[in-house]
Structure 1
Amino acid sequence: MNGFKHLIIIILAFSLSNCGDNSDKKNFGISTNAKNNTIALNQVLELNIKNPNNLEVDSISYTLDGKNIEEKTPLSNFKLGSHDIIATIKYDRETEIVTQSISIVNAETPKVFGYQIINTYPHDITSYTQGLEFYNGELYESTGQKGESKLRKVNYKTGEVLKNVNLADNYFGEGLTVLNDNLYLLTWLSGKGFVYNPKSFERKSTFKFGKSQEGWGICNDGNMLYKSDGTEKIWLLNPETLVEDDYIQVYTNKGKIGKLNELEWINGKIYANIYQKNGVVIINPENGATEAVIDFSPLKERVTKHKGLDVLNGIAYNPETQTIFVTGKRWDKLFEVKIIEE
């Protein structure tokens, strides 16, 4: 089936964490029904304590992600990804804590969506596109590479640059998003991002990244910011404090998807480019499940071939037209498309 062929093209090689028992002591361990320490969402997680010395146990309690769980626990309300099960075992007036890592994967294979090209517009062939977003009917774009990074407002129909500001040569620009009249722009390895006035392009403030360290893509749902860092994680940032409050891990039914790059929030889902791939994954922001994939690789065949041509990157939803706009790094075209759920 062509859909599965496309799926292989788009998604990175899956990698599963086959973690062992992480007990600090020898008295106890945790055994589960997770095959190779991997279990699917909606299955029932079954736990038992390994007690090779047959010690008399007074009580056992379990937690997963800080939530109390039972020996048999349905996983329907948990996030995907790598997690630690912690068992607290009380015996002979002592307490021992043991940990076991498991990976929770999605229960379903991602769907494969198609697309229809609605319009094709000119795009600056020199722009190493990183972020793309519509705000108040206008298209904003950020680009990368040191010495070339810039923030722009563009007339998407003509390609005319309406406003431009260059980043300092030591910064490598990454994704952008606009929320509450603040434009958030990431940089790659400097560990910081910038906040601009989207009308004047005046820089208002600077913020530092937390555990995410690198800046890749960013989007928002109208309340929270979502930030990728080149791994399988998408971090949730409080827009007031810009502190990373939480994260999701993006997984399919086989394993994690890494190198998540440019992000866009579209109708309650996160659409993400995968770096060095010409496709997009559609993610459930509640649990990190990859619900669908779109293979945009044929679009690259429609742009002008040149030495600096690079991969698809840049996805923006225009609520006025209810269509999606995609381009790539140093592509000379911007494509307006409609997604077809096949």
Structure 2
Amino acid sequence: MRGTVRNRFRGALAIGLVLLAASCGSAQVPAEQHGHDDREHTEQGLRHASSVPHLSVDVVRALEHDPRAFTQGLEVAGGSLYESTGKHGESTVRALNPRDGRVLKQRRLPEKFFGEGLTVVGDRVWQLTWKAGVAFQRDRTSLDEIRRVHYDGQGWGLCHDGTKLVMSDGSSRLTFRDPNTFAATGGATVRLGGEPVTELNELECAGGHVWANLWGSDQILRVDPGSGRVTAVVDAAGLLPKGERAAAGVLNGIAAVDGEFLLTGKNWPRLYRVRFVPR
């Protein structure tokens, strides 16, 4: 079954109404629940967005996803789907079957840590934490902890482009890190029309781009990691049917797979395999 999201769901929610609902919904959720800022969130207007291409999502298929998973990081590697989940006392790292969402292996973080983004590097997995300033390096097969390293600031999203790690911290800055030591090696400020774009959340490195979930919205940004320039905006509004949105959180989770992407969100009952297509 194929077709754009708007065609599949018969345009049930106009884009403006979806954005308003997302903004109002996040304002009602305590900071501990959404895992980021203590201040009330208001969605960015993304001024100058008309200066770059806009993409829609073409749904290939819907897959099962654990609705208890407060998704913070998502990545496909070696035929498995790796997911990091958040909340104090509930944070996990898990390996899933990407075809049906079944949990194959799982490790729980100590209660004081709030899990955030993750990425796979060879036979290792790096997993961030939100405010603790600690990254866990894990064995990819067992998911057992190997060591911990410390970093300054918050941890939000993380991906690996084959040579370096790319990390977001809620600001407009992407920090580049050594995939072995986790030491900072540089970075780039993400800009759209010359203006910084903040609240970059879960990341995916694919096709020479960094794809960044924009916190609290249904938008995904395609970023040139060399310059930090936003080169496209993806509108992923309307993936979940209206009846399922009330019990679910925001869009957060993007994983590249065979030229397509898996998208999900916090406490979503489904993963969606999609293509990004011109609007």
TM-score range, shorter chain: 0.7 to 0.9
2:95 aligns to what?
Answer: 153
Inter-CA distance 297–14: structure 2 relative to 1 (3 Å threshold): closer
Kindly provide the CA deviation profile for residues 54-93 of structure 1, in whole angstroms up to 9, marking residues without a partner as x.
xxxxxxxxxxxxxxxxxxxxxxxxxxxxxxxxxxxxxxxx
Residue 311 of structure 1 aligns with an amino acid whose one-letter code is V
* Deviation (angstroms), 1:12: 1.5
What amino acid is the match of 1:12? Q
Task: Supply the distance in 1 between the matched residues of 2:251 and 2:129 (Cα, whole angstroms).
Answer: 19
How far apart are the structure 2 equivalents of 1:243 and 1:182? Answer: 16
Aligned partners of 1:314 and 1:328 also within 8 Å: yes
* Map of 1:192 onto structure 2: 134
Residue in structure 2 matched with residue 335 of structure 1 by the alignment: 272
> Partner residue of 1:172?
114
What is the letter of the counterpart of residue 174 of structure 1?
Answer: E
> Quick check: 2:79–2:98 contact (8 Å CA) kept in 1?
no
- Distance (Å, rounded) in 2 between the aligned partners of 1:116 and 1:136: 24
Q: How does 1:30-45 map to 2 (within 5 A)?
A: none
Name the count of aligned residue pairs.
242
Within the candidate set 190, 193, 201, 1:250 is matched to 190
What corresponds to 2:177 in structure 1?
Answer: 237
Match of 1:142 among 75, 78, 84: 84
User: Cα distance 1:242–1:297, how it changes in 2: closer, same or farther (>3 A)?
Assistant: same
After the TM superposition, which segments of 4 or more aligned residues of structure 1 sit over 2 Å from their partners? Answer: 8-11, 300-307
Q: TM-score, normalised by structure 2?
A: 0.82
Task: Say if 2:158 is the partner of 1:218.
Answer: yes
- The secondary structure found in structure 1 opposite 2:182 is coil
Trace 1:242-321 onto structure 2 (pairs within 5 A). 242-253=182-193, 255-301=195-241, 304-307=244-247, 309-319=248-258
Q: Aligned equivalents of 2:246 and 2:49: distance in 1?
A: 42
Q: Which residue of 2 is the match for residue 41 of structure 1?
A: none
| C-alpha deviation, 1:252, in angstroms | 0.5
Q: Write 1 or 2 for the structure with the bigger share of helix.
A: 2
User: CA contact under 8 A between 1:232 and 1:257: conserved in structure 2?
Assistant: yes
- Does structure 2 conserve the Cα–Cα contact (< 8 Å) formed by 1:14 and 1:254? no
> The residue matched to 1:280 in structure 2 has which SS?
strand
Return the alpha-carbon distance in structure 2 between the equivalents of residues 226 and 254 of structure 1. Answer: 21
Contact 1:183 1:196 in 2 (8 A): yes
Please point out which of 34, 44, 47 is paired with 1:12: 44
Cα distance between partner residues in 2 of 1:302 and 1:208: 41
| Higher fraction of strand | 1
The one-letter amino acid of 1:328's match is G
For each residue in 1:31-70, what CA deviation from the matched residue of structure 2 results, as whole angstroms up to 9, or x when unmatched?
A: xxxxxxxxxxxxxxxxxxxxxxxxxxxxxxxxxxxxxxxx
Q: Are residues 301 and 287 of structure 1, via their aligned partners in 2, closer, same or farther at CA, if it must alter by over 3 Å? A: same
Q: Retained in 1: the 8 A contact 2:157–2:202?
A: yes
Contact 1:226/1:236 (8 A) holds in 2:
yes
Q: Which amino acid aligns with 1:226?
A: V
Given candidates 323, 328, 335, the residue that maps to 2:260 is 323
Whether contact under 8 Å (1:303, 1:332) holds in the other structure is no
Letter in 1 for 2:131: L
Q: Which has the higher contact order (CA 8 A, sep 6+)?
A: 2
Letter of the 1:200 counterpart? S
CA contact (8 A) 1:284 1:291 kept: yes
> Match of 2:192, SS?
coil
Per-residue CA distance 1:279-323 (angstroms, 9 max, x = gap)? 10000011000010111111133672444x21000000013xx21
Structure possessing the higher radius of gyration over alpha carbons: 1
The Cα shift of 1:341 comes to 2.7
**How far off its partner does 1:159 sit?**
2.0
Matches of 1:109 and 1:278, distance apart in 2: 19
Q: Percent identity?
A: 32
Aligned residue identity for 1:330:
N
SS of 1:310 mapped into structure 2: coil
Q: CA deviation at 1:239?
A: 1.5
2:257 partner letter: N
User: Over aligned residues, Cα RMSD in angstroms?
Assistant: 2.2
Aligned to 1:128: 70
2: CA distance between counterparts of 1:232 and 1:167? 28
